[in-house]
Structure 1
Amino acid sequence: MHYRRLYQPGARYFFTAVTENREPLLIDHIERLRAAFRLCLSRYPFEIDAIVVLPEHLHTLWRLPENDADFSKRWMVIKRKFSAGLPSRVVSDSKTQKREKGIWQRRFWEHYIRDEEDWRRHVDYIHFNPVKHGYVSKPQDWPHSSFNQAVRKGWYEPGIVLDDQLIGLNHENIGNE
């Protein structure tokens, strides 16, 4: 059975994108990644509610425009722009035929956000991910995250104390299918 994505104009989605073989490229090339997002946003607007970039993967939560549901096109732009200029990795014939450089895993993972509670759980998962992976002890200390913007928006209290439930969030207990 083939996986079918749900495309809903104006919807919110949680995404995970991972580098091929979990190569730690993203932080080393963070400005390239930012430029890829800026290019995509200029061509195909969307809102970023939350984002975290770790060395080999990123999580983000987007809201698409009311008249547009094509998140796959956006990921294609981001991945291609990021990969342009980076040396190719050893790739399979099928990746070569599709002009892929072996920088990213071919697919990305997405989850349709059903309601505000689902949104909140995913925002928390994104912001506490650097703590979960042991990069920092407090989410506000990770420089490649929207956490501090979320504090300024009032989504979190300044100096939030970590909650074991937030640290332990994973794909299974945040309601993902």
Structure 2
Amino acid sequence: MRYRRANVPGATYFFTVNLQDRQSQLLTDHIDALRNAFRTVQIRYPFEIIAMVVMPEHLHSIWQLPEGDVDFSLRWSLIKAAFSKALPKQENISSSRERKRERGIWQRRFWEHMIRDDDDLEKHVAYLHYNPVKHGYVDNASDWPYSSLHKFVEKGLLDTSWGDNVSSLDLPGYE
């Protein structure tokens, strides 16, 4: 069966995007290059980042696309390319990737989920913000520096102790 992406213009989507080398720390080691890649793409192809967390080797992000626009794949392709171009070539590149002019930094695909309603959004924001704790990088979600949790706290939407009681969180079961 062929995978079909959700294609609803102007929808809100949750994404998981991984590096090829799942032992790498490129995303956090080069966080400024990643931020610049996002900013550059957002200028030409606008979208709102509702929530995001960057881990060393993967990231989760929730985007709201503009009304009438469904092309998140183009945006991810451009973000990946801009980030890759900002890094020195040090990775092993397979002949298959070389033929396609790919660097070999990112996994080719990404995972997306279309957000269905406010409850679904709340669960995915919680999942995303709790991810650094789940992976053992920090004991408290607010201790992870590469998370939109800090903006949620600044806006008064969450407090710094958010996520301390994991049993009260209703999280989706993604890896």
TM-score, normalised to structure 2, is 0.92
* Cα pair 1:16 1:110 within 8 Å, conserved: yes
Distance between the aligned counterparts of 1:168 and 1:114, measured in 2? 15
Aligned equivalent of 2:127, options 125, 130, 153 = 125
2:4 match: 4
Residue type at the aligned position of 2:156: G
Structure 2: distance between partners of 1:17 and 1:130: 15
Aligned-residue sequence identity (percent) comes to 53
Contact 1:88 1:102 in 2 (8 A): no
1:70-149 map, 5 Å: 70-86=71-87, 87-149=89-151
Distance 1:68 1:168, change over 3 A: closer
Q: Which residue of 2 aligns with 1:170?
A: 173
Aligned partner letter, 2:20: E
Aligned match of 1:60: 61
Structure 1 unmatched ranges of 5 or more: 173-177
Q: CA deviation at 1:161?
A: 5.3
Contact 1:88–1:101, Cα closer than 8 Å, also in 2 = no
* Letter of the 2:16 counterpart: T
Deviation at 1:122, TM superposition (A): 0.3
> What are the within-5 Å matches in structure 2 for residues 12-23 of structure 1?
12-22=12-22, 23=24
CA contact (8 A) 2:41 2:78 kept: yes
Deviation per residue, 1:27-70 (Å, 9 max, x gap): 11100000000001101000001000010000000000002110
- Across the aligned residues of Structure 1 and Structure 2, the Cα RMSD in angstroms comes to 1.7
The number of aligned residues is: 172
Gaps of 5+ in 2: none
- Alpha-carbon distance in 2 for matches of 1:144, 1:49: 14
Q: Please state how far the C-alpha of 1:74 moved relative to its aligned partner.
A: 0.3
Shift, 1:135, TM fit: 1.0
Q: Separation in 2 of the partners of 1:126 and 1:159?
A: 16
Alpha-carbon shift at residue 164 of structure 1 (Å): 2.2
Give the direction of change, closer, same or farther, for the CA distance of 1:169–1:133 in structure 2 (3 Å limit): farther
Match of 2:161 in 1: 159
Verify: 1:150 aligned to 2:134, yes or no: no
1:175 aligned partner:
none
Q: Decide whether the 8 Å contact of 2:124 with 2:171 is kept in 1.
A: no
Q: Indicate how the Cα distance of structure 1 residues 167 and 7 shifts in structure 2: closer, same or farther if over 3 A, else same.
A: closer
1:169 is displaced (CA, Å) by 5.0
What residue identity is the alignment partner of 1:5?
Answer: R
In structure 2, distance between residues paired with 1:11 and 1:151? 25
